[in-house]
Amino acid sequence: MICSAILKYSGDKENNYMETFEFNHDLFFYVCLPPIIFASGFNMHRGDFFANIKLVGIFGVFGTLVSFSMFSFMTVKMSEWFPMQAYNGATGKWEDLAMEAREIILMSSLLCSSDVIAAVSLVSYDKEPRLFSIIFGEGITNDAVSIILFNTVLRYTAKNSKITASTPFSILGGFILLGVVSFLIGAAFGLASSLFLKYFRSLTHNPINQAVILLSFAYISYITSELLHESGIISLLVCGIVQAHYSFYNLSSMGQHASYVIFQFISFFMEAFVFIYLGFSFFSFSGLRWCPKLIMMEIGVIMVGRFIAVVGLLIFLKICKFDSKLNFK
């Protein structure tokens, strides 16, 4: 961001350096993001993940839906109680900001996604393997649910401008349909890669070839899902998990080790590149509308909503006599 500011304010007007670093959506979604998502599914600790699947599902699915509901409700009420103004970066003037309900629920579907990397960095897998697995699994599931939720809300709000009493049920139905179809696409390509590696052994002598085959099937699942207007990220994540559970055992010993290292390296490299790229492209958004009051308000909404979604669910589980084996220590 510092380098981005230097390039923006020190460059001459005739040669605008910021145009070079303008955020490119295709580059991000079709080059940078797929390796990160795939590696998170392929290299996860599957044994611990499935051993704690109940808690992962409760906090990852229901926790995310509770967060989304709380964010939407509180933001709607706060926008009604506190008038806001936004700074227009293009004109340099302050303007009244009036957000519609459909804009708020679309924004809330984005905000309910958490940062799994920041969360697991606070917990050591060697010391707390169960807690690490629950947090990591919840984070992965949270991202998946948030993506499906955002795509569902985006699809619904594009066709309907009015929010009625039936809107939540329509969104829920679309949410389930989008999730199931995306899951099936990812699972199908994951199983297809396993069969391919099993019956075409002549193509799997080289460990690099084996890694390329796995990555190719996963990327095709991503593209196929996107072309069908489903969630490519969910398909890619599921494909990675299925490949790790089935295709992995059709690889040679060198191929197993090489695929793990290669996917981990590509993921780490792309994560670093994304942070650098977003930092350089930060000031390319300076021409948009900014509302400091809304930003501060949403920070409070997120803290309260996430607290209710996590602690509230834990209390609810204890009331229902569900032994989560988690406490507040």
Whether residues 221 and 238 share a domain: the answer is yes
List the domain range (segments joined by +) for residue 213. 173-287
Alpha carbon distance 18, 278 (integer Å):
12
- For 246-291, where are the alpha helices, taking DSSP H only? 253-280
Whether residues 154 and 211 share a domain: the answer is no
**Mind giving me the DSSP string for 284-302?**
GGTTSEE-HHHHHHHHHHH
Report the run of H or E that residue 53 belongs to, with start and end: helix 53-57
The pLDDT score that the predictor gives to residue 302 is 87
Q: Name the domain count of the chain.
A: 2
Asked if the structure places residue 247 within a domain, the reply is yes
Whether residues 227 and 298 share a domain: the answer is no
Whether residues 59 and 159 share a domain: the answer is yes
The pLDDT score that the predictor gives to residue 81 is 83
**Does residue 98 surpass a pLDDT of 60?**
yes
Whether residues 92 and 150 share a domain: the answer is yes
pTM of the model: 0.73
- In this structure, is the dihedral angle defined by the CA atoms of residues 18, 106, 315 and 128, taken in order, positive or negative? negative
**Does residue 267 surpass a pLDDT of 60?**
yes
Whether residues 283 and 295 share a domain: the answer is no
Proportion of the chain above pLDDT 70, given as a percent:
80
Whether residues 109 and 202 share a domain: the answer is no
Q: Return the structure tokens found at 151.
A: 């795509």
State how beta strands 84-88 and 93-97 pair: antiparallel
Whether residues 279 and 297 share a domain: the answer is no
**Mean pLDDT rounded to a whole number for the chain:** 79
Could you read off the pLDDT of 101-158 as tens digits, one per residue? Answer: 777 888 888 888 777 666 666 666 667 777 777 777 777 778 778 877 787 777 776 6
Asked if the structure places residue 35 within a domain, the reply is no
Quick one: which of 284, 308, 193 has its CA closest to 245? Answer: 193
Could you read off the pLDDT of 52-92 as tens digits, one per residue? Answer: 778 777 888 888 888 888 888 888 888 888 888 777 766 77
Whether residues 237 and 143 share a domain: the answer is no
Asked if the structure places residue 41 within a domain, the reply is no
Quick one: which of 98, 189, 186, 193 has its CA closest to 147? Answer: 186
Q: Return the structure tokens found at 8.
A: 């923006």
Alpha carbon distance 35, 236 (integer Å):
9
Could you read off the pLDDT of 194-242 as tens digits, one per residue? Answer: 999 888 877 777 888 888 999 999 999 999 998 888 888 888 888 988 9
Whether residues 138 and 181 share a domain: the answer is no
Whether residues 281 and 297 share a domain: the answer is no
**Cα end-to-end span (Å), the chain:** 38
The pLDDT score that the predictor gives to residue 14 is 46
Could you read off the pLDDT of 163-198 as tens digits, one per residue? Answer: 666 666 777 777 788 888 888 999 999 999 999 988
Whether residues 56 and 68 share a domain: the answer is yes
